[in-house]
Amino acid sequence: MGSYSYSYRGGGQCPSLCYFEKGLKNPLSKTIRCGPVFVIAVLALLTAWPTEAVAQSAIRINELCFKPLAGEPQWVELYNSGKVQQDISGYALTDEDGSDYIFPAQLPPVPPGAFVVVHFDGLGSKRNDCDFSDNVAELHSDVGVASPFKSRSDQVSLYKSRSFVPDTIVSFVAWGESPGSDATNAVKGALWLTLQRKVSSRYF
């Protein structure tokens, strides 16, 4: 299973591990602003189990910020690791607890190597920037929908539609504690392991 490890200056509040599904490829490194300090996020592929379900989609949850600095929004970043563009209009991000974001029809197909960042700031679709000329599309959650993720422990799933079933899940991330029943679709969809090892009250 891949891990999302943080190294940072000072005594920040960011957890040391998040969790990514099997088969994640194309490790990336970039500086993000999450928590009271700048952190360097390194996405590392530790072990991969290639499966048909994983191989079908090149779109992955690549990075996220669930504990931002004061006044800044939570966000989730997707990445197209494939060699062809991917149409994700109609896809859904969800925390498996009722907080959903549906990707708009106005979003063009995501080019190979491009990113899509969803800011959960409640500013609405009028603030969306769907232009991939700089390799990044910037989207905003619906008006009034802000900061849906719990910083202590939560999860985010990406589905191909609003039908949240194992056949439509394409990416899954959890942090803090074992996601328990919220990982059911990810387990059945071959993105997540049922057995997790506990170390210092964190799971990986």
Question: Tell me, what CATH number does 162's domain have?
Answer: 2.60.40.1260
In a domain, 103, yes or no: yes
| Mean pLDDT within 123-152 | 95
Cα separation, 177 vs 200, in Å, equals 11
pLDDT over threshold 90, residue 38: no
On whether residue 101 sits in a domain, the answer given is yes
Q: What are phi and psi of 168, to 5 degrees?
A: -110, -5
- Better-predicted residue by pLDDT, 138 or 179: 138
Provide the pLDDT for residue 56: 54
Confidence of residue 182 (pLDDT cuts 50, 70, 90): confident
Number of domains present in the structure of the chain: 1
Mean pLDDT, rounded, for 58-68: 94
pLDDT at residue 202 tops 90: no
30 neighbors 127 (Cβ within 8 angstroms): no
Q: What percent of the chain clears pLDDT 70, i.e. is strictly above it?
A: 67
179 lies in a domain? yes
Give the predicted TM-score (pTM) of the model.
0.73
Is 158 inside any structural domain? yes
Find all residues with CB under 8 Å of 48, minimum gap 6, and list them: 2, 22, 23, 24, 25
Is residue 132's pLDDT more than 70? Answer: yes
Whether the pLDDT of residue 177 is over 70: the answer is yes
Whether 108 is in a domain gets the answer yes
Percentage, residues of the chain above pLDDT 90: 57
Establish if 152 belongs to a structural domain. Answer: yes
Domain interval for residue 110:
51-191
Q: What is the pLDDT of residues 65-91, one digit of tens each?
A: 999 999 999 999 999 999 999 999 999
* 159 within a domain of the structure (yes/no): yes
Is 19 inside a domain boundary? no
Mean pLDDT along residues 97-123 = 96
* CA 105 – CA 168 distance, rounded (Å): 18
pLDDT band at 148 (very low <50, low <70, confident <90, very high): very high
